[in-house]
Amino acid sequence: MNSGGRSHGLWHASAPPGPSVLPLSGRTTADAVIVGAGYTGCSAALHMALSSAKPIVLEAFEIGFGGAGRNVGLVNAGLWVRPEAVPAAIGVERGERLLKQLGEAPALVFDLISRHDIDCEAIRAGTLHCAADRHGASDLAERASQWRRRGVAVELIEGTDAARLTGSEAFASVLLDPRAGTIQPLAYVRGLARAAIRHGARIHARSPVVLCEDLGEVWRIRTPDGSVEAPRVIVATDVYSTGPWKALSAEQVPLPYFNLATAPLPPRLLARILPERQGAWDTKSILSSFRLDQQGRLIFGSVGALCRGGARVHAQWARRELARLFPALGTVNFEHAWYGTIGMTDNALPRLHELGRNVVSISGYNGRGIAPGTSFGRDLARLTLGETDIDSLAVPRTSVRPASLRALKGAIYEAGAQLAHASGARF
């Protein structure tokens, strides 16, 4: 699945094979065309197929090629920002509805995994947001208060109990969100695709969209070797968007993120590091994340790209940081390394766009793609089936606006991460 470098690492090495899908060839028709075979696209296809509709999914590379196959695998509840920032940004009624929907989104993910027998190392033990310093501890306390006011049973854990849950003395407190969990992310999206196909959807890989034509009653979507005509189109390409809808990428600032995976840890270390198998991340501006996979590998990630000088700088920093967090690890060697791109919107909230007559998209997940993508994919399926209307969705409809100084800001993210990781600075 590589495209010019380290792309999917451990996930490609350990995921069950995806369904066998061919490029689109010739002319065909469908009830809807879905562009992109990530979480949003495959969820939309599955939910349409479950309602007896016949969608076609077109993927430029392979199922899960973009963020779906490269992320950490944390099935988070809610969004990146504090809960109260959401109604403040989009209005109280819609904001609270969006918080409720995304708070329930992990349950949807784990329900689909169970109902469709998806083999993806699913563990529903919650996630840990870890306070890296006093400012981080204050932030977690405020987040806990805001969630509790909404009736969510998050738990703020401090001192020795925090050290026991993480396996590290480095965190003054942690916020446990029991709604969340972890999965093998590439295996999950492949499982969604397999389930969608089983229920009647068609998926074509290696089929980039090169042209989208409005024929009046239907749209004609062209690929290098074929075309599909359908009355509705869902664009689910997010920050990896190219071709006719590359503006969806241009409205997000690219944030590179890498992951490194150790060999399976011995039982004595597995009993101490994340003993209850939560996934975790910290409160630093240049954050770190860590979790275990089913085989006991420690997966450690942070902001940065594993290309050019960054590969050496970030890997060296990761060894030092793991030694600080978990001294018992000793010398660490990494068996797998990979990275991808997170799309960041200007307010860290997702975007709903109407790109043309009966052409819709939701993008801008800001590092929270698994549960929101699955839930929004279901929304787009319902919209396409006529079961709801666009203004009834929890995400407000907006126009596409290019991010200001996008390339510069993306370069600053990588340069800042390299500087911080090279110097050992903490932010």
Q: What is the 3-state secondary structure (H, E, C) of 202-235?
A: EEECCCCCCEEEECCCCEEEEECCEEEEECCEEE
- pLDDT exceeds cutoff 80 at 2: no
**Cα–Cα distance between 34 and 57 in angstroms, integer?**
5
**DSSP secondary-structure letter at 397?**
B
Nearest to 54 by CA among 224, 187, 230: 230
> Cα(192)–Cα(16) distance, rounded to whole angstroms?
12
Question: So what's the pLDDT on residue 4?
Answer: 47
Q: In this structure, is residue 62 part of a structural domain?
A: yes
DSSP 123: B
* String of DSSP letters for 34-69: EE--SHHHHHHHHHHHHTT--EEEE-SSSTTTTGGG
**What's the pLDDT band for 412 if we cut at 50, 70, 90?**
confident
Judged against a pLDDT cut of 60, whether residue 116 lies above it is answered with yes
Distances (CA, A) of 138 to 131, 172, 173, 383: 8, 10, 9, 40
* Mean pLDDT taken over the chain: 95
Residues 395/365, Cβ–Cβ less than 8 Å: no
CA 147 to chain centre: 22
151-161: pLDDT as tens digits: 999 999 999 99
Domain that includes residue 369, residue range: 9-71+186-252+346-403
> Tens digits of per-residue pLDDT, 179-216?
999 999 999 999 999 999 999 999 999 999 999 999 99
Q: How many structural domains does the chain have?
A: 1
Q: Looking at the predicted structure, is the pLDDT value of residue 287 above 50?
A: yes
CA neighbours closer than 13 Å in the CB half-sphere of residue 241: 25
pLDDT at 85 over 70: yes
pLDDT of residue 254: 93
Please say if the pLDDT value at position 262 is more than 80: yes
Which residues in 321-339 are b (16+ Cβ under 10 Å) and which e?
A: bbeebbeebeebebebbbb
> What does residue 287 show for φ and ψ, rounded to 5 degrees?
-75, 165
Is 355 inside a domain boundary? yes
The whole-number average pLDDT for the span 244-270 is 96
* Cα 1–chain centre separation: 18
In this prediction, what percent of the chain has a pLDDT beyond 90?
A: 91
For residues 181 and 291, is the Cβ–Cβ distance under 8 A? no
Q: How far is CA 395 from CA 96, 349, 390, 391, in A?
A: 11, 9, 9, 8
Q: pLDDT band at 236, cuts 50/70/90?
A: very high
Q: What percent of the chain is predicted at pLDDT more than 70?
A: 98
Do residues 223 and 58 touch, judged by C-beta distance below 8 A? yes
Q: How many residues does the chain have?
A: 427
pLDDT band at 426 (very low <50, low <70, confident <90, very high): low
Amino acid (1-letter code) at residue 165: L
Find residue 344's DSSP bridge partners: 253
CATH number at residue 359: 3.50.50.60
Per DSSP, the residues of 263-327 read EEPPHHHHTTSSTT--EEEE-SSS-EEEEE-TT-EEEEEEE--SSTTHHHHHHHHHHHHHHHH-G
Is residue 423 very low, low, confident or very high in pLDDT (cuts 50, 70, 90)? confident
Q: Is residue 79 part of a domain?
A: no
Angle CA 104–363–111, to nearest 5: 30
Considering the domain boundaries, does residue 83 fall inside one?
A: no
Residue 107 lies inside a defined structural domain of this protein: no
Predicted confidence (pLDDT) at residue 99 exceeds the cutoff of 60: yes
Whether residue 358 is contained in a domain is answered as: yes
Q: Residue 356 falls within a domain, yes or no?
A: yes
Q: Please indicate, yes or no, if residue 290 is contained in any of the structural domains.
A: no
